[in-house]
Structures are given as structure tokens and as C-alpha cells.
A and B are shown apart, each in its own frame.
Chain A
Amino acid sequence: MVEFRMPSLGADMEAGTLVEWLIKPGDVVKRGQVVAVVETQKGAIEIETFQAGRIDKVLVDLHSKVPVGTPLALILAEGEEKPAVATAVPPPAAVAPTAAPSLERPPMAPARPVSPVRPRVAPGTQVSPAARRLAQERGIDLSTVTGSGRDGAITYADVERRAAEVMAPAVPVAPAERKRAPTLDLGAMRVAIAAAMARSKREIPHYYLEHQVEVTACERWLAEKNATLPPEGRLLFGALPIKAVALAIRRFPAFNGFYRDNKFAPSPAVHVGVAISIRGGGLAAPALHDVDQLPLDELMRQMRDLIQRTRAGRIRGSEMSDPTITVSSLGERGVETLYGIIYPPQVAIIGIGKAVVRPWVIDGAIGPRSVITMTLSGDHRVTDGHAGALFLAEIGKLLQEPEKL
């Protein structure tokens, strides 16, 4: 028993309408004999059977439109007996079954990778692809870049300028890249500082605390230490508060980290930004890394190196973007108290004034002591005066035992 199916007659034929049978059940047919007429989009076409035999049954009504491949009739081959028990007629040729619409959810869009420094710009600012990529490579916050392109678009050159003024020229990331001669564009640096500081004051609710710390012990200890060291290896006072701040952070981690997207993320590492002034009016605050773990002489060595490189224009991008807290010291330069402005996205900055000999009360008696005034500018979204006071007190305490720093 064979099925005679609706034939495909053309590349673009999908279905046909049976309009006439030229045979009836019981008729004997030969191979090639025309058995029906099918109406198609092109007209009526006679269709032939390629099976010889006897028509057993017609399966499709006239004037029904059926897809190509639909069984139209059953043909018994010559000599074949019709089966006594009705065998299950094989199901109609599979017109491609429409799949039940899938209920699975569309795949989740992959999470966007978080870049180390996400370039954030004011809505509507255009940034060229080249500029965007450079900003990412150099760790430049695009919100600190002024665009000079059409309609204020930020171009590659704009990002380059910003990178230079924050002292992040390209030291080769990949070994194959050429070293670039360092450039210092102080005018542009001032512009960048203006942008950053203005933003800080705009966005960060600062609170200010002041604390006076006796540093006689430090000076004495330094004098002893340095007596045995060559001039180029001597410790400077400036290293001590930096180490003290780093150690104090262990107890007060809320002052060490980044405030972004309306929340504070504390940093597991303590990278202290050191404010460094540059002849001609420049200023930068690159990071010393993992200060809490650095022995003091190593800290001193790195600080020296950092200052020298900063003033020569050879800072790494990572050094610019890494500080988790900043310490700013005017040292010998003349004022007693310095209130710093927080570098976003940091949440605190310690200001250190020059050491002054003051009358001090010790054990009920008054005597001259070397005293510095230390300030904390804190981000009130993250910390408040109470925590700040404790933090400052801790730093002061650590400075009383310089040999343990």
C-alpha cells in the first residue's frame, strides 16, 4: 500500500488545491498516468502517479487546499491484498509542525564588565571611540575632561591632555609600545584641578575636624635614626604621619575607599595618596601602595622616588587612580593648619600643618613641645564627626610611638 502525495511542482509551490479526480477507487493505474488536476498559483496542472496499481481510497476532498506532501490517495500495488485488519494509516506527511512557542525566557544580557575607572560623563557629552579607549587605558575619569571637538565632543587629544596634566603619560603597558617623552602642561593641569575641586565641593558634603598632636617623640626618634644613615637614605618627618594614617585605617576602614553610585565601597588595600607640589604651580596626589604593610625605610624610599618622578612627569596611570585616602602636608611651607578638599571618589583627606614649638602641659607642668595641627576633611555621606574624631585621635596616638610605625 503506497501513498500518492501532493507533488512539489516548482521551487515556489507550497500547496495545491485538488480540483478534479480523473480516477476513482478501484481503477487500475499505470506509472505516468495522469490521475488528478491540481490548481496552483500558476494555473491548473495535471499530476501523474509514479506508482502503478489499484486505487484503494481517496483521502482528500476536492477543492481542499493541501500542502505539498499531503497524501491524496492510497494505491495498492499489483497483487497486493488489502490488509484484513485496518492498519494504522501512516500519519500525513509531516508538514513542518509549528513548534509550540518556547516559554523559556530570553537569555539574560551578560552583565557589563565593570571597568576599573568607569568613564562617566554628563549626559549628552559625546566621546569619540578613540578617546574612550584611551581614557580607559590611562585611568582617566572622562567627567574631568573638557571636550574640544565639535559641539564639545571629547576627542583623543583632549584625553591625552588630561592624562598629561594629571601626570599620567604612557609608560608602556605592552612592551612593544614606544615610550613617550613625558610632557607637563601646567596650564592644563590647573584647569583639571579646577574641574576636580569644583566637583568635589559641589557633590561632597564636607565636615572638618582639627586635632593637635605632639610630635616630640617623632623628632627625637628621627634624629637618632638618621644619625646612622647616609643623607640620601634619611627618613623625613613626612613619612611618619602617612604610615600612622595607614595603620589607623585598620581600625577605621570607613575612611578608606570610594564613594560611587550613591554608595561607599571600602577598599581592602590602603593606598595613600601623597599630595606633591610641582614647581610652577602644579599639584598631584599619586598613591603609595599598601602603605600599612610597608616598613618605614621602604616607605621613605618609595616616597622619595614618587616625588622625584612626579616632578619629572613620569607617573603611572595606576598611581593616579589608586589612592584610597590622601594625606596632604605643607611641611615647612608656613601655615599651621591645612584644611584639604577631598579628591573624589575618595571620602577623606588628612591635612598636616607645619611643626610649631608650643607651650604644652605635661604632667601638670608647662613645657615647650613640637606640635602639629592635623585636620580631617570627611565625606559626611559616609562618616560623621564622632568617627572622625576617633580616627584622628588614633593617628595622634600612633605618632607617640614612632618606633612602632
Chain B
Amino acid sequence: MTAAADKPRLSREHMLDLLKQMIRIRRFEDKCAELYTQEKIRGFMHLYDGEEAVAVGVIPVLDKRDRVVATYREHGQALVRGVPMTTIMAEMYGKQEGCARGRGGSMHLFDAATNFYGGNAIVGGGLPLAVGLGLADHMRSNDIVTACFFGDGAVAEGEFHESMNLAALWELPVLFVCENNLYAMGTALALSESETDIHRKAECYRIISEAVDGMDVVAVEAAARRAVHAVRESRKPYFLECRTYRLRAHSMFDPQLYRDKAEVEARRHSEPIVRFQQWLETNHMIHPEDLPRILAEIDAEIAQSVAFAEAGTWEPVDQLTRFVYADAAVPAGR
């Protein structure tokens, strides 16, 4: 564990909150896996197991007025950002009570109330969007920060490089968070990048960047505080490479032919929840009754979300062609 990092609040309350947030994501993802095997959730679904520390370390550091752009592996980000679990689950079911009316599904969670600009199924597709959000804030001279999450696969896309360049050139207030889990679907990083030190790519664009142990939630939070503060003050971009690992397959239908089971097992021993829980226990920050209480609260919330989704309704087919263009009543962009 990092010792003398930028000081996150090391209070028991905060530590337990970090733990709970990570477990909440983990158990939500687990429930999604179960529901997917039962065909309640369909299409493509990408789970966040093992990467919880990144979302939980970064997002709570942001303000409500800040903006979040994410990828198709965005359940964790959405949950931490405050998108209600009920509406997320309903969205996964495709019910119209979902956070995108059921029209998007797992890969396209959106929530205007929390400035959550989606879920994006195009690798790298969210980066230019984040640049644009930052451009608007730059032109308005406010102090809003846009946090853009993407994976190691995105750095191969032209859009990544264009976005780095634009953000640095125009000095835009964007925090780029690369969740480097070492695999772009089934392709290992070393097999697709000449330079595997991803944060160094950002340096080449003259963006301040650092790499951090993405399996250490306290380290991630400390780095995030540095980064968000820098972006908010300097109004310039910042690049945070979070080195993490994906414990589950890329998506549900993936036999993982591209990596050793032994490698996955080894990683399981040092995954963020296990590590953090051990650290809390070692430092007597967690009491025997805490975990059962946390689990009970989480499981109750999950059960409630499933019930909400199950009880949800299907959007009538005669509404199919709505929401392609604006209804007169809906205000335009914000």
C-alpha cells in the first residue's frame, strides 16, 4: 500500500466506503453474469471484475458538475457516479424504465442527471467526445473537469492520437484515464503496441501523465486527487494510466484462449478487493460486523434492482421511431 501519497482521507468511514463501493460493483457484475446466463440480459455484456479500484478511486474525486465519458465496460463507472442501480438493471433488461429507456442496453448507459455521457461501443469513440466537452468548458472559461475512461485497446486507434493532440494543443480540461488491463479483447498489449508504456505516449503529446497501480484503490485515489486538482486549476489535460487486470473474460462469450488460466489465478490473489480488505484488517480499520452489514445492504439493493427490472415494462413497438430526432418538448444539448 502506498504510504505517504497525496493524502486521501484515511478515515475509517472513508475506507469502508471505498470497500463498499468496490464490493457493490463486484456483486452487481456477478448478478449480471447470472442473469445473462438466464437470458434476462442479452447482446454483449462486459464485466468489470478486477478493475473496481479504478472507478472507485477516480470518480468520487470528481464534482457533480464534472463530466464522465466511459466505454462499453461501464457498469462500474455508472454505479459509482450515482446512476441508480435500479435504472441500470432495467436498462440491461431492455425495459423502458432503464436509464436510456431500454434503447441502449449494457454498452450504452447514459444519465444526464449525473453528467454521465455514456457507454460507447466504439473503441476510442468517446475520446473525441470528451475533447469536445472539454472544448465547450474551455470556451466558457469555467472550472469543469471531464474524466474520460478508455482501455489499452483504444490507444491503437487514430482517434486516440487525434484526441491527445487536440487536448494538448488547445489546452482542454480533460482527465484521460486509461484502464490498462493488458488485453484489448483477445490481443495482449505487447502484441499490438510498439510502446507498451502507455502513459509515455501521452507525454509525447506534452500531456502531464503518470502510471499508477490500478489494483490499489488508495493509490488510485491519491493519483486521481492530484490529477483532478491539476486539471481544474491549470485547465490543461492530464493522463492517468491505471495498471489493472480483468478477472473475467472480455465478454460473456469468450473462452479466453489468449491467456493462461494460471495467470488469471495469480491475479486473483492480488485483486483490489482482496488486497484492500486484507489491508483494512491488518490496520484494524474493519470490524467483524462491518462486512456482513455491507454485504447485506448491497445484496438488498441488488435484489431490489432485479425486482425493479423484472417488474419493468417493454416500450410499445409503436413508439419505435421516436427519439431519432428531437421531440418539440425536449430541450437541446446542455
Report if A and B touch in the complex (beta carbons < 8 A).
yes
The docked-state distance in angstroms from the alpha carbon of A12 to that of B254 is 12
Check: B43 CB closer than 8 A to any chain A CB. Answer: yes
| A8 near B36: Cβ-Cβ < 8 Å | yes
Check: B194 CB closer than 8 A to any chain A CB. Answer: no
| B30 near A32: Cβ-Cβ < 8 Å | yes
Check: A40 CB closer than 8 A to any chain B CB. Answer: yes
Inter-chain contact total with CB atoms closer than 8 Å: 44
Check: A23 CB closer than 8 A to any chain B CB. Answer: no
As a 0/1 sequence over residues 52 to 82 of chain A, the CB contacts with chain B under 8 angstroms (1 = contact) are: 0000000000000000110000000000000
Q: How many A residues are at the interface, by size bracket?
A: 10 to 19
| B34 near A13: Cβ-Cβ < 8 Å | no
Check: B38 CB closer than 8 A to any chain A CB. Answer: yes
| A43 near B42: Cβ-Cβ < 8 Å | no
As a 0/1 sequence over residues 1 to 37 of chain A, the CB contacts with chain B under 8 angstroms (1 = contact) are: 0000101111111000000000000000000100000
Q: Is the interface of B mostly helix, strand, loop or mixed?
A: loop
| B257 near A43: Cβ-Cβ < 8 Å | yes
Q: Tell me how far the C-beta of A279 lies from the nearest C-beta in chain B, rounded to whole angstroms.
A: 63
As a 0/1 sequence over residues 4 to 43 of chain B, the CB contacts with chain A under 8 angstroms (1 = contact) are: 0000000000000000000000000010011011110011
| B44 near A11: Cβ-Cβ < 8 Å | yes
User: Which of B42-65 touch A at CB < 8 Å?
Assistant: 42-44
| A43 near B255: Cβ-Cβ < 8 Å | yes
| A68 near B39: Cβ-Cβ < 8 Å | yes
| A40 near B253: Cβ-Cβ < 8 Å | yes
Q: List the B side residues contacting A69 at CB < 8 Å.
A: 39
| A9 near B34: Cβ-Cβ < 8 Å | no
Check: A50 CB closer than 8 A to any chain B CB. Answer: yes
The docked-state distance in angstroms from the alpha carbon of A13 to that of B39 is 11
Q: Tell me how far the C-beta of A4 lies from the nearest C-beta in chain B, rounded to whole angstroms.
A: 10
Interface centre among A12, A40, A50 (most CB of B within 10 A): A50
The docked-state distance in angstroms from the alpha carbon of A11 to that of B94 is 14
Q: List the B side residues contacting A45 at CB < 8 Å.
A: 249, 253-255
User: Which of B238-297 touch A at CB < 8 Å?
Assistant: 249, 251-255, 257
Check: A178 CB closer than 8 A to any chain B CB. Answer: no
| A7 near B37: Cβ-Cβ < 8 Å | yes
Q: Tell me how far the C-beta of B145 lies from the nearest C-beta in chain A, rounded to whole angstroms.
A: 36
Q: Which residue of A lies closest to B43 (CB)?
A: A11
Q: Tell me how far the C-beta of B217 lies from the nearest C-beta in chain A, rounded to whole angstroms.
A: 22
Q: Which residue of B lies closest to A68 (CB)?
A: B39
Contacts A11-B42, A11-B43, A11-B44 given: A42-B254 contact, CB under 8 Å?
A: yes
> 18 more A-B contacts (CB under 8 A) besides A5-B37, A8-B38?
A5-B38, A7-B36, A8-B37, A8-B39, A8-B252, A9-B252, A11-B43, A11-B253, A13-B253, A32-B30, A40-B253, A40-B255, A42-B253, A42-B254, A45-B254, A47-B37, A48-B33, A68-B39
Q: What residues make up the interface of B, taking CB atoms closer than 8 Å to A? A: 30, 33-34, 36-39, 42-44, 249, 251-255, 257
- Pick 10 A–B contacts, CB within 8 A, sort by A: A8-B38, A9-B37, A11-B44, A11-B253, A43-B255, A43-B257, A44-B255, A45-B253, A45-B254, A48-B33
